[in-house]
């Protein structure tokens, strides 16, 4: 009997406590939804500028560029800044002159890989949002002729370059995938093809 009364009292207290709680479904004013944020032309223009800035920082940042230059042995670092000493080191017997990327999340040299991956992914994501808002959702910046096309071409270019750099770094830079003869690289327009 005593346990039954204790259980009833605990259940009643829990019920009162749960009814006193407010709903946890709260709108966060610091995180606007993408649909509303990407309809503002000024915010869209700022996002387009940030797209180019994030690509430039990823491409020229020492976390990426420093490692690539030491792998090519055109730059040296004795203190392993940005993992440059690790990636530029040679084997003792001289049989291998390069280091592969350390993709393991537990590896110390992974930060050089993560820098490029997150930077190019961020660039591509922002460029896709801007181009979609301009070309599909018809967010118009100005009424001048050609202005809207230029505004959407710039992030589209940044997104394409980000894809190229990601593919180049991950798919083997030294391998030629094109099977055509080397002298067949003549430019042809789409109209001629």
Task: Domain ranges for the chain, please list them.
Answer: 32-173
Whole-model pTM: value is: 0.59
Distances (CA, A) of 74 to 33, 102, 172: 46, 21, 20
pLDDT in tens, 118-140: 888 888 888 888 888 887 877 76
pLDDT band at 92 (very low <50, low <70, confident <90, very high): low
Instruction: Please tell me the distance from the alpha carbon of residue 150 to that of residue 134, in angstroms, as a whole number.
Output: 11
Say what percent of the chain tops pLDDT 70. 64
Higher per-residue confidence, 143 vs 88:
88
Instruction: Please tell me the distance from the alpha carbon of residue 62 to that of residue 117, in angstroms, as a whole number.
Output: 14
Instruction: Please tell me the distance from the alpha carbon of residue 114 to that of residue 127, in angstroms, as a whole number.
Output: 20
The answer on pLDDT for 62 being more than 50 is yes
The answer on pLDDT for 191 being more than 70 is no
Tell which residue, 177, 175, 168, has the closest CA to residue 68.
168
pLDDT band at 187 (very low <50, low <70, confident <90, very high): very low
The answer on pLDDT for 168 being more than 50 is yes
Orientation of helix 41-60 relative to helix 110-135, angle to 10°? 150
pLDDT band at 172 (very low <50, low <70, confident <90, very high): very low
């Amino acid at each position: 009997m005593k346990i039954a009364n204790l259980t009833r009292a605990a259940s009643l207290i829990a019920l009162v406590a749960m009814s006193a709680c407010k709903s946890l479904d709260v709108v966060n004013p610091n995180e606007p939804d993408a649909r509303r944020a990407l309809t503002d032309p000024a915010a869209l223009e700022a996002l387009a500028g940030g797209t180019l800035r994030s690509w430039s920082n990823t491409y020229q940042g020492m976390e990426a560029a420093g490692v690539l230059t030491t792998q090519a042995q055109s730059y040296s670092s004795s203190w392993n800044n940005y993992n440059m000493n690790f990636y530029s080191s040679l084997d003792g017997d001289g049989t291998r002159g390069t280091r592969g990327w350390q993709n393991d999340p537990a590896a110390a040299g992974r930060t050089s890989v993560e820098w490029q991956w997150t930077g190019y992914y961020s660039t591509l994501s922002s460029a896709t949002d801007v181009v979609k808002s301009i070309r599909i959702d018809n967010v118009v910046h100005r009424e001048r002729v050609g202005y809207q096309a230029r505004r959407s071409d710039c992030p589209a270019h940044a997104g394409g370059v980000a894809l190229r750099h990601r593919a180049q770094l991950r798919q083997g830079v030294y391998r030629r995938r094109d099977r055509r003869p080397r002298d067949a690289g003549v430019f042809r327009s789409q109209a001629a093809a």
